[in-house]
Amino acid sequence: METKGRILVVDDEEIVRISCQRILTPMGYAVETTPDGVKALELMGRNKYDLVLTDLKMPHMDGMEVMAEIRKREPEAKVIIITGYSTIEVAVKAIKMGAFNYIEKPFSPDVLITAVKEALGEHA
């Protein structure tokens, strides 16, 4: 199946995972989800993803650690941080550590789609 890109969503909240899936799938992306960072890295060992959307605060492993690991293993994969606990400092830190972008919860479908398109290099 031809897809616009393969996306992994990492968030401990099911509603966020479902939301991302319901927004991005109709747009033609292959979306997979996982509730924690450890499992995300397992999945990345098996599959290749173009983009990872990850929450910051999660059990076992937080989003910053997940991102650092992804940057090491798959330098080509883009990472967008999604968080409900936003401060300018956190955003700056995330970008410095290599995040492509930064989205605050709750986000509207348009914000998410725009960010994903930018990350995957699509031009509307």
Residues of this chain that bind another protein (CB under 8 A): 11, 13, 15-16, 18-19, 22-23, 57, 84-88, 104-109
Least distance (Å) between residue 13 CB and another protein: 4
Which of residues 86 and 114 has its CB atom nearest to another protein in the complex?
86
Instruction: Kindly calculate the radius of gyration of the chain based on its CA atoms and give it in whole angstroms.
Output: 13
- The span from the CA of 87 to the CA of 28, in Å, is 32
Least distance (Å) between residue 22 CB and another protein: 6
Helix 37-46 and helix 63-73, axial crossing angle in degrees, nearest 10: 20
Which of residues 76 and 110 has its CB atom nearest to another protein in the complex?
110
Which of residues 39 and 105 has its CB atom nearest to another protein in the complex?
105
Least distance (Å) between residue 63 CB and another protein: 12
Structure tokens at 93: 């830190």
- The span from the CA of 74 to the CA of 18, in Å, is 25
